[in-house]
Structures are given as C-alpha cells and as structure tokens.
Structure 1
Amino acid sequence: MIRVAINGYGNLGRGAEQAISKSEDMELVVVFTRRDPASVTTQGAPVARIDDMPAWADKVDVCLNCGGSATDLAEQGPAAAAHFTTVDSFDTHAEIPSYFASVDAAAKASGHLAIISTGWDPGLFSMLRVLGDSVLPDGTTTTFWGPGVSQGHSDAVRRIEGVLDARQYTLPVAETVDAVKAGEDVELTTRSMHRRDCYVVAAEGADLARIEKEIVEMPNYFADYDTTVTFISEQEMAAKHAGIPHGGTVIRRGRTSDGVAERITFELALDSNPEFTGSVVSAMGRAAARMAARGQTGARTVFDVTLADLSPKDPAELRAYYL
C-alpha cells in the first residue's frame, strides 16, 4: 500500500481524500492542517498540525499538497519537500519556472521527489498540448476553459461593497470553438474566445448599477470580456449555484501534407472541479511514490510521468487489456 498524507483539508484536500478511498493500492494515513486538529473531521484518517510533519517523515510515502497557489504553495511546497515526496497542483502559469526551481532545490537537498503543477490545467491539458505538438508539428493548439465556476473571479466579485455572495462562470464562445474545430481562419482574442457570466446576491438597498459597473469594468478580471451580471436571491444561489463545475477543451489542428487536415480534441466536463483535480493529484501521488522508490529526487512535472506509473494496473495487464 502507498501511504499518503494530505496537506490542507479544503475543497481540494477533501477531493483527494475521496479519490484515495477509491484506490485499492493507496491509504490515507494523516491529514495535516493549520487549524486546530480537533476541529477537522475526516473520513477516518488522523489529523495533525502542519508543524508536526517531521514526526511523520517515516510513515508517509507521498504527501499531496492541497493548498492554494496564491498564498500557500510558494511556502508549503518547498517546506513539505524537506520531509516527504510530494505532489501539488500549483497553477499560476507565469510563476511555474521559479516555483519549480525553489521546490527542486528543497527536494534535492532532502533526497525527495516532488511533482509540481498537476491537476488538469496545468496538468492533463499540458500533457495534451505537448502530445498534439509532437504528433502534428505543422499546426496550432487552442485551449478553451469552461463552462465552469472560476473560484478566483467569484471571490473578486464578492469583495465588492454591497455583494453578499457571487458565482462567476467562464464560458467558451461556442461560435469560436466551432470555427477552430472546423479549421476556419478565425481571430482568437480574449473577448472572442470566452465570456463571463456573474450571478450576484446583493445586500438589501445596495446600488445594483454601481455593482454591475464595478464588475464589468474590473481590470484583469472582466474588462476584456463580454460580461453579463444577473442579480438573484440567496435562495436561488443556494438552489442553482451550490456546485463547483468546470471543464475545458484542448484542440490541436495540423496538416500532415498539403490539403490533408487532422485534428486532436481533448475535452473535460466536470461536475466537481476540486474532486476531479483531487483525483488527478492522487494518481500523480502514485506515480511520485513509484518514481521515488526507484531513487529519483528533485522536482518533476507531468511531462516526466509515464502512464505506467500513473496506473494501478501492472504492466502485463496494461499490455493485455489497454494497449
């Protein structure tokens, strides 16, 4: 059995716990938290303070770091790699090179392996982008995100004065997706590729016009998109927008000879973004434990992981039934 720790017990941590419970070759042995351990209820695993990691170093084969990229992982990634083989879902694309370097240094110093930036984007989508580029070198790759809830953008709306709650959905522009699939020469811009729908619960007496204006003009979030704002009640929010769905599509279009077009499409449709991401992180945890057992150390990405290491099946079974 692969002994797994979860570091951070939010939506992603609980999603990883759910995935581990469905894996016959993995067991959750501890959950680390910054909260009072007595306040955290898991599906059965013991809970320890994050400061207690050193005491678990010999009892864990891989630690899944389930904190957020914005504030948690920059510190927790290197810190956890000092004690364990680790996996995380760091997703701030522009900062991946510097994050990789910091985790790599910590993992090499401690003799551990650390796979960073798993999940689905970065993660599975990254793998498909490389696959498409490798198989169809004469071509272009386009990625669409959604339809789904953007948690960071939803938080940005909730920070506006007079907003009690909000959900923001990122939606691919259907006409653009169809044009890309058809191989049409279409201009790809921020506005032409995605739009944003916001559902907002406003405080009684709040200035709705002001709130809508602040949303649609918010730089870096909504100003560059066609954005729709719909005000709803708390009851409607709870009834219709309680989940965290998401998804997306990677499309690689290329030419193998003059006039011969080929297309590769990879699509995700997720009822629960954190549960699916937790499933990917868990599978990467299996791969990390196996790679570490072979003596690998330092940081890695999904590009370094084989399908054989991801799978719970043995190589003979993979050859017989999956090849």
Structure 2
Amino acid sequence: MVKVAIVGYGNLGRGVELAVKQTPDMEVMGVFTRRSPETVKTLGAAVFRMDELINYQLEIDVCILCGGSATDLPEQTPEITHHFNTVDSFDTHAKIPEHFAKVDAVAREHQKVSVISTGWDPGLFSLNRLYAQSILPQGQTNTFWGKGVSQGHSDALRRINGVADATQYTIPNTEVIEKLKAGETLELTTRDKHFRECFVVLEAGVDAEKIREEIVSMPNYFADYDTEVHFISQEELNQNHKAMPHGGTVLHTGVTNGETKQAIEYNLYLGSNPEFTASVLVAYARACVKLAAEQKFGAYTVFDIAPKYLSPKDVATLRRELL
C-alpha cells in the first residue's frame, strides 16, 4: 500500500482523503496541519502538527501538498521535497517555470520525486492543449474556464489584509466560444475570454474601496480581467457562495490539407472542484511513488509522465482492457 501524507486540510485536503478512500492501493498515513490538531475534523485520518512531519520519513511514501499557490506552495514544495516525495497543485501559470526549476534542483540533490502543478488546469487541460497542437499544428487553441469557483483566486482574495472571507467565480464568454466553433478565427485577449466576479466579506472597519482597488489590480490573478467585486455579509456568502462547482473547455480548431476544418474539444463538468482536483493529485501521487521506485529523481509535470504510471493496473491489463 502506498502511504500518503496530506499536508494541509482545507477543501483540497479533505478531497484527497476522500479520493484515497476510493483507491485500492493507497492509504492515508495522516494529516499534517499548522492548526491545533484537536481542532481538525477529518474523515478518519490521524492528525499531526506540521512540525512533526519530519519524524515520519520512514512511514510516508508521498506527501500531497494541499496549500495555496499564492504563498504556501512556493515555500512548502521545495522545503518538504528535501525529505519526501511530493505532489502539488501549484497553479500560478506565469510562475510555473520558476517553481519547477527550484523544486527540480532540490529533488535531484536529495534523490526525491516531485510532481508539480497537477490538477485539471494546470494538469489535464495542459495535456489536452499539447495533444491538440501536436495533432493539428495549423490551428488555434483556446481554453475557457467556468462558470465556477476558482480555489486559487478565492484563496488569493482571502489572503488580502482586511478580507474575512471570499469566493471568486470565473465566467467564460459564451459568445466567443460559439464564434470559434462556427469556424471564425479570432484574436482574443485574456480580457475577451473571461470575466471574474468576486463576493467578499470585509473585516470590521476596513476601507471597501481600498480593498476593491487591491483586488482588481492584483497581478497574475485579476489585473488582466474585467473584474466585478461585491461586498456582502458572511451570512449571505455562507448561504449562496460556499459550493465548489467548476469546469471548462479546451477548444482547438484547425485544418488539414490546408482547408479541411477539424476540431478537438475537451470538457469538464465538475460538481466539486476540490474533490476532482484532489482525485487528479492522488493519481499523480501514485505515479510519483512509481518513479521514485525507479530512481528517476527530479521534478515532473504532467507532460513528463506516461499515462501507465497513473493506474493501479499493470500495463498488460491496460493494453487488454483499454487499448
């Protein structure tokens, strides 16, 4: 059995515990948290203080890191990879090359494997962009997210001083999608494709307009989008904006023979963003452990890992059942 440590226990950490329960070859060794362990209610997993993690090196095959991309993972992933194989869902696209280089250096030096930036985007959507562009090199790829709650963007909102709680929705421009499907070639900016809508609960005495300006000008998250900010009560947020749906589309339109139109479309419709993301992390945690057993140390992304490593089944069974 692959022994998994869950590092951090918010929505994503809980999703990992749920996902591991559905796998035949993995089990949760424990949850490691910066909170007081007695305050963390899991689905059965034991809870430990974060500073105890180092004491369990011999009992853990892989750590699944469930912190946020804004401030947690840039520090946690390289730090924990000194001692453990790791998987993270770092999703600040512009900073992935920097994050990869930092983690790769640590993983190689300490003979560990780290799979970074996995989930569905970056992750499964990244793979589908690569497949589509390789198969139809004469074409145009566009990715649309939502409508749904972005965990990373919501987390970035909640980390602003003066924000008590927040939820952010990513909303695709459906008119643009239909034009692309109809065969139109469009030059699209980031702002053309999506709209961001934020529902924010403020702490007492905070200047709302100052917070609004900080949100709409936040680089890598909101600055490149039309963003609407609503200030609401905690009660309203709890009642109307605590579900976690999401999804999206990778749409690649191209031609063969110079004029024959072809299209590749990949869709996800997710009832729970964190539970689905966690399920992807768990599959890549299996791959991480297999690569470590083969002593193929270093950092990896979804581009580097053959699909056979994700499955608990052997390759002969995969060829027989799925090929």
Fold shared per TM-score above 0.5: yes
How far apart, CA to CA, are the structure 1 residues paired with 2:246 and 2:173? Answer: 15
Alignment partner, residue 6 of structure 1: 6
Offset, 1:165: 5.3
- 1:258 equivalenced with 2:263 (yes/no): no
User: Is the Cα–Cα contact under 8 Å of residues 142 and 250 in structure 1 kept in the other structure?
Assistant: yes
Alignment partner, residue 60 of structure 2: 60
User: Is the Cα–Cα contact under 8 Å of residues 162 and 211 in structure 2 kept in the other structure?
Assistant: no
Larger radius of gyration: 1
- Runs of 5+ unmatched residues, structure 2: none
How far apart, CA to CA, are the structure 2 residues paired with 1:82 and 1:158? Answer: 29
Q: Superposition pairs for residues 180-219 of structure 1, below 5 Å? A: 180-199=180-199, 214=213, 218=217
Alignment partner, residue 310 of structure 1: 310
Offset, 1:164: 6.6
- Residue 303 and residue 36 in structure 1: after superposition, are their counterparts in 2 closer, same or farther (change >3 A)? same
Match of 1:73, as an amino acid?
L
* Deviations 1:297-319, CA, capped at 9 Å, x for gaps: 11111111111111122223222
How far apart, CA to CA, are the structure 1 residues paired with 2:77 and 2:124? Answer: 20
Match of 1:149, as an amino acid?
V
Offset, 1:9: 1.2
- 1:82 equivalenced with 2:117 (yes/no): no
How far apart, CA to CA, are the structure 2 residues paired with 1:213 and 1:52? Answer: 39
- Residue 158 and residue 80 in structure 1: after superposition, are their counterparts in 2 closer, same or farther (change >3 A)? closer
> Taking structure 1 as the reference length, what is the TM-score of the superposition?
0.88
- Residue 167 and residue 38 in structure 1: after superposition, are their counterparts in 2 closer, same or farther (change >3 A)? closer
How far apart, CA to CA, are the structure 2 residues paired with 1:162 and 1:105? Answer: 37
User: Is the Cα–Cα contact under 8 Å of residues 35 and 49 in structure 2 kept in the other structure?
Assistant: yes
Match of 1:307, as an amino acid?
P
* Deviations 1:96-130, CA, capped at 9 Å, x for gaps: 12211221121112211111111111111111111
Q: Superposition pairs for residues 5-154 of structure 1, below 5 Å? A: 5-151=5-151, 153-154=153-154
User: Is the Cα–Cα contact under 8 Å of residues 28 and 45 in structure 2 kept in the other structure?
Assistant: yes
Q: Superposition pairs for residues 200-279 of structure 1, below 5 Å? A: 214=213, 218=217, 220=219, 225-228=225-228, 235-279=235-279
* Deviations 1:48-70, CA, capped at 9 Å, x for gaps: 22222232111111111111111
* Deviations 1:29-81, CA, capped at 9 Å, x for gaps: 12111222222232222222222223211111111111111111122111211
How far apart, CA to CA, are the structure 2 residues paired with 1:304 and 1:32? Answer: 28
User: Is the Cα–Cα contact under 8 Å of residues 215 and 222 in structure 1 kept in the other structure?
Assistant: no
Match of 1:318, as an amino acid?
L
> Taking structure 2 as the reference length, what is the TM-score of the superposition?
0.88
Offset, 1:25: 0.8
- Residue 219 and residue 86 in structure 1: after superposition, are their counterparts in 2 closer, same or farther (change >3 A)? closer
User: Is the Cα–Cα contact under 8 Å of residues 157 and 215 in structure 2 kept in the other structure?
Assistant: no
How far apart, CA to CA, are the structure 2 residues paired with 1:31 and 1:216? Answer: 32
**Across the two proteins, how many residue pairs are aligned to each other?**
322
Offset, 1:295: 1.5
- Residue 68 and residue 206 in structure 1: after superposition, are their counterparts in 2 closer, same or farther (change >3 A)? closer
Task: Name the SS for the 2:144 alignment partner.
Answer: strand
Task: Name the SS for the 1:57 alignment partner.
Answer: helix
- 1:169 equivalenced with 2:165 (yes/no): no
Identity, % of aligned positions? 54
Alignment partner, residue 179 of structure 2: 179
